Amino acid sequence: MTQDFSAFQLMLDATWVVQAVVLLLISVSIISWAAIFRKLFLLKRVRNQTEDFEKEFWSGSNLNDLYQSAMRSAREGSPTERIFASGMREYHKLRDRRITQSDALIEGAQRAMKASYQREVEALETNLSFLGSVGSVSPYVGLFGTVWGIMHAFTGLADMSQVTLATVAPGIAEALVATAISLFAAIPAVVAYNRFTHDIDRAANRMETFMDEFSNILHRNVANAGAGTATATGR
């Protein structure tokens, strides 16, 4: 009779250790795919929101009006918009305290934006370390299941007087399934990790560029004593 060598049947016939390894890898793969799709949608939304905010910012709008709008949409806005709101909030607090030194005003706004920037980057990097761990550890977990399965297969052949390929093949095949599933879990995680790292670095650089340009605008507005009618012109 022809023996069933389907992956499902091989797993049913495998040892409990190999089955446990395969179940672990499948669970990790499902979680990593969910994290990948969430990160894809998040980065796409951040990119679109950032483009919309920067377009409005550089259109010459009043900074105070932009600040009020950013405060109303704090949660739904882009990271760049929240960084802008943090800088303007600190700038207004210092001015309300009758602080007029330009250096103190600019440095205070820059510190607030830097703290907000760190929070935004940490939020974008959520689950990124998990994908990196899945990509690096999964092959070793699968290798453990493969080695265990092969060891069990050869141990079972010790009592046989005659060994043929037909007797060796099932044990080897069920062990190699663990390696195949580990690669299925690891490869997408590695590809996604590298892609997301690149996209997050680009987003972080874009936010840093905005912080520098906004700081220059604040510096000019303080120097001209025109904060009350400040606009995002002169890029």
Per-residue confidence (pLDDT) for residue 99, from 0 to 100: 74
Per-residue confidence (pLDDT) for residue 1, from 0 to 100: 44
**b/e string for 129-167 if b means 16 or more Cβ within 10 A?**
eebbebbeebbebbebbbebbbebbeeeeeeeeeeeeee
| pTM for the structure as a whole | 0.80
Per-residue confidence (pLDDT) for residue 193, from 0 to 100: 95
What digits encode the pLDDT tens for the residues 148-194? 878 777 776 666 666 555 566 666 777 788 888 899 999 999 999 99
Q: Which residues of the chain have pLDDT under 50?
A: 1-2, 5, 226-230, 234-235
